[in-house]
Amino acid sequence: MAAVSVGGLGKAHGPGTAPEEVSLEITPGELFCISGPDAAGRSTLLRILAGTLSPDSEVVSIRCRHMRPRV
């Protein structure tokens, strides 16, 4: 089961959309990176996933698990 699942995510900026139609799944324990050219929407995608920016089109699912500190 994916910890983060995104489908069809987009955010309009002026005449264009960046990011446009992003879909990805990140499984628990998986490392990933976001790369691309200038103005591709990398920071916008991270802000949407963090919840500080609202997408225009979205299917975003973030599965949370509360973790207790180890003693």
pLDDT at residue 65, rounded to an integer = 56
Given the structure tokens 């979205």, which residue do they identify?
58
pLDDT average, residue stretch 27-43: 86
CB count in 10 Å sphere of residue 17:
15
* Residue 45 or residue 2, greater confidence: 45
Residue 70 has pLDDT above 60, yes or no: no
pLDDT average, residue stretch 54-65: 69
Could you tell me if 52 and 30 are in contact, meaning their C-beta atoms sit under 8 angstroms apart?
no
* Residue 46 or residue 13, greater confidence: 46
* Per-domain residue ranges of the chain: 4-62
pLDDT average, residue stretch 14-41: 82
Given the structure tokens 């089961």, which residue do they identify?
1
Given the structure tokens 């499984």, which residue do they identify?
27
Q: Residues 1, 32, 55, CA angle at the centre, nearest 5°?
A: 75
